[in-house]
Amino acid sequence: MTDPQKDSTPSPTSFEGAFSQLQELVKKLEGGSLALEDSLKVFEEGVRLTRYCQSSLTSAEQKVEQLMKIGADGKTQTKPFED
């Protein structure tokens, strides 16, 4: 039995990287050729990547909301992002 986590790439450094890894894991699971133990490991990795993607999307949404704030004068207010 091979270890699916050893085959996967390291922790993502971008939303796009995590999403791409997640798509590959879905293909592996949909293929139906993994043993139960391997499927669970792949699923666990998928959950980790999903959480990373959700966190990235939430952060992006907050940045957009910050950009879209309207001041009392009716003009859009902008503030620097906190990284």
Mean pLDDT (the chain, rounded):
83
String of DSSP letters for 36-78: HHHHHHHHHHHHHHHHHHHHHHHHHHHHHHHHT-B-TTSSBP-
Structural domain for 56, as ranges: 4-67
Is residue 73 one of the residues assigned to a domain?
no
Number of domains comprising the chain: 1
Is residue 75 one of the residues assigned to a domain?
no
Is residue 25 one of the residues assigned to a domain?
yes
Q: Which amino acid is at 11?
A: S
- 70 - beta bridge partners? 76
Say yes or no to pLDDT of 75 above 80: no
Is residue 16 one of the residues assigned to a domain?
yes
What CATH number should be reported for the domain holding residue 53? 1.10.287.1040
Is residue 81 one of the residues assigned to a domain?
no
Mean pLDDT of 14-37: 95
Mean pLDDT of 31-44: 96
Is residue 62 one of the residues assigned to a domain?
yes
Is residue 77 one of the residues assigned to a domain?
no
Which pLDDT score, from 0 to 100, does residue 73 have? 77
pTM metric for this prediction: 0.69
